[in-house]
Chain A
Amino acid sequence: MDVLYFAWVRERIGHPKDRIETAPGTVRELVEDLRGREERYAAAFADLSALRVAVDQELSDFDAPLDGVREVAFFPPMTGG
């Protein structure tokens, strides 16, 4: 599974993408795993209310299951238009 980061989440983590071999059960569990990696991940995921998540390119939530999912993305609230 690919984990993608955009905007300041990408900058804080330092790269745009990680590849995860064994996906955890839910987005929240994935966040917990990532937080445990290094300080920069913990900093990026410190406040989940400041983050949005997309699962297979659809806006989703932190309780979404990851079974069969190919791509998860984390980013701040969008500012298009």
Chain B
Amino acid sequence: MNDFVLILKNLFHKKLRAVLMIVSILVAFAIFGALASFEWAFNSREDSAQADRLIVVNKISMSQQLPVSYFNGVAAIDGVGQATHANWFGGYYQDPKNFLVVFAVEPDSYLKLYDSDFVYGPGAREAFVRERAGALVGERMMAKWGWKVGDLIPLSSNIYSKKDGSHAWDVKIVGTFAGRTPQNDSNVMLIQYGYFDETRSFQKNLIGWIALRTASPGITDKVAKAIDATFANSPDETTTDTEKAFTQAFAAQFGNIALMVGLVVGAAFVTILTIVGNTMAMTIRERTREIGVLKTLGFSGARILRMVLAESVLLALIGGMPGLALAALAIFAVRDDLIQFVPTLTMPPVVVAAALALMLALGLLTGLFPALGAMRLKIAAALGRS
């Protein structure tokens, strides 16, 4: 036997109570693990957005389009470097529930602008620029649907129709690409704007947004103002902002994730802290005589303090670790279903580290007062001998 065995035996002195405490801690850390991972996934999208890239959208709403002629107007503004435009296609594969992230883009300029984010398969860039009905597909999307280069895909849209009344565009996969970092989403398909615009039955010569890089990061604000000033008082006024702000605005559509995480986790933690702290105090009170005996045998107050703290930390770890594992499993299970909304969903090391720190804090906080009480306990009083 050693101190650890003694601590473990004390912890499970009342088995049902210990199990209930462990379950409550487990639930708390399962919630924390899942929500914090979601928050990280949303924030990581923002982190991947580069500060010197600007997005120009219709001032009324992101869902309102802009005339394609604006592209040349923007490109001509002083301080604008590489620029491109893109359009939300609203795609799906075979069935509307098989949602696909598809952008209709101007191939050459788009690939140049996002060159720092992606790596392309051999010959993929050239083939995409060359083939009018070609599609450049991210590796995660390829893997999800089991596609390979050369496959002909019937790509449907839940927004647009073709001139012949159908909703399906036949595209050929001409190459693949992958994100340079996990934050660069490769669950995406790119098709040529020219092919898309030529064949769609309405909203011709319109684009979803313009993306551009300024000549230098220091003039970003100035360029953004110049762009919006250029189109002021026109039928389609613009709003220009950094890609990061654009992404944040997109993420905000899903609610304030950080606030939600904070409130839920905070409420759960305060509740569990109270319950576990009270139960620990009750447990130590019940063991007053045993603590008195240990002290009689020669266990010092400091050693008793360490043992009680170790017991509460062990309790937090025994409950917290499986809770975190459960959250990781849940994330793994729903990851594919949510890939289009949260493509980088995973449980990153930073969340695991934060959870471990919280477990330690929970254990130390709930054990501190009972441990101090046990340390200060007078033997004679504990044994009812005074």
- Asked if A and B are interacting partners, one says no
Binding site for B on A (CB under 8 A): none
Binding site for A on B (CB under 8 A): none
